[in-house]
Amino acid sequence: MAAFASAAATRLCDPMLPDLARHFGGSAAEVAWAVSGYAVAYGCLQVIFGPLGDRLGKYRLIALCTLACVPGSLLAAMASSLDGLIAARMLTGVTAAGIIPLAMAWIGDTVPYEQRQSTLARFLIGQVLGVVGGQFIGGIFADTLGWRWAFGAMALLYLAVGVGVLVQSRRLAGSGHTVTPITAAAGPDAPPTDMLGQIRTVWQTPWARTILAVVFTEGALVFGALAFVPSHVHDRFGLTLSAAGGLMACFGVGGLSYVLFARHFVQRLGEVGLAQLGGGALCLAWLTLMWAPTWGWTLPACYLSGVGYYALHNTLQTNATQMAPSVRGTAVSLFASSFFLGQSVGVSLAALAIARLGPLSPFVVSAVLTPALALLFARLLRQRHAPTQQLV
């Protein structure tokens, strides 16, 4: 549920961008900072929460981060200016930064690598439903009670979930339950305890640098296009904001389709095949969206984008949990940081491209570059696994 709330907040503003532009009198590029500002803050703070999780305990810190999201959500609901809204969104991004990456790192500490991709896929259910829920909540409130109520609803959700996670954390501590990382090191091989040393440990690993670069680019390409799907459908086909946001449920259905069959996908396709599947499905999704003669075509397009994104991203997540096992919390947080900074860059550039080149420009760029990125990543995976395969 904490992952659901975090993911919902990330996509909450997508369907309400036209309403925010009318309310505050801003351009598409200006109001898009309600999305990208959250992503910037979220991404930058990963480098703090990762090392803190490694030192203080990941589960308890997840609870505290969730509760800390309540004030930012309330401030967003009461914002009297666009700058105030953006500042409140950035504050929420700061406090939400530790939720999903620390949960991923906790899974990495407790689940063997062979089972980790399917376990992370099940964890993705909360994130998938959160993406869909955020789009729907933002759209339905924008069309009915007003966009401010969407942030009020998020504040209540954060409060309820945060209290629940905190209670569970105290129960685990009271029962003497502790988590021992699978790959913990001791003695002279112990990982550094200072933040810069932990970050340096990750950055000095060549495969870690590769994963961070790929996920940054993935975030920019996929979400630079995805953030403007509701606005595009609203403007082109005249759908209400709630209906346009509701169409994004198909993105979640696509993601759930992948999650439900993730174990079979992993067994049949492997990491290389999943990366290729992700790139191909995303390319087809954006092409369908661009050439759709009626709004009905956006349904399969959004579905394909969900399948493709989660197939590619789940493969990246699995590799991220193992790219620096001795400082896994820091490594996964840097992964999330790169991903959300990529989202921020992608949304900002997409907004500028729409203003200068037209509403289809983000989809054109993503349709061309996303499959190219996926093929490159698949090739790198094949090269990385080749020595292991030759020894078998």
DSSP state of 112: -
CATH number for the domain harbouring residue 360:
1.20.1250.20
Q: What angle do CA 129, 95, 150 make, to 5 degrees?
A: 50
End-to-end alpha-carbon separation of the chain, Å?
Answer: 41
Q: pLDDT class for 32, splitting at 50, 70, 90?
A: confident
pLDDT at 186 over 60: no
pLDDT in tens, 61-100: 888 899 999 999 999 999 888 889 899 999 999 899 888 8
Q: Please tell me the distance from the alpha carbon of residue 225 to that of residue 152, in angstroms, as a whole number.
A: 27
Is residue 184 in some structural domain? no
Is residue 392 in some structural domain? no
pLDDT at 327 over 90: no
Q: Determine the pLDDT at residue 57.
A: 75
SS3 325: helix
Is residue 179 in some structural domain? no
With contact defined as beta carbons under 8 Å apart, do 19 and 144 qualify? Answer: no
Q: Please tell me the distance from the alpha carbon of residue 138 to that of residue 242, in angstroms, as a whole number.
A: 8
**Number of structural domains the chain divides into:** 1
pLDDT at 189 over 70: no
Q: Determine the pLDDT at residue 54.
A: 72
Closest to 342 in 3D by CA, of 173, 154, 176, 216: 216
Can you give the residue range of the structural domain that contains 332?
2-172+191-387
pTM metric for this prediction: 0.72
Is residue 168 in some structural domain? yes
Is residue 320 in some structural domain? yes
Is residue 232 in some structural domain? yes
Closest to 28 in 3D by CA, of 389, 362, 384: 362
358: its two tokens: 């037209």
Is residue 177 in some structural domain? no
Closest to 383 in 3D by CA, of 278, 255, 254, 375: 375
CA distances from residue 114 to 117, 122, 176, 264, 322 in whole angstroms, order as listed: 7, 15, 28, 14, 11
Please state, rounded to an integer, the average pLDDT across all residues of the chain: 83
Is residue 181 in some structural domain? no
Strand positions, DSSP E, the chain: none
Q: Determine the pLDDT at residue 337.
A: 81
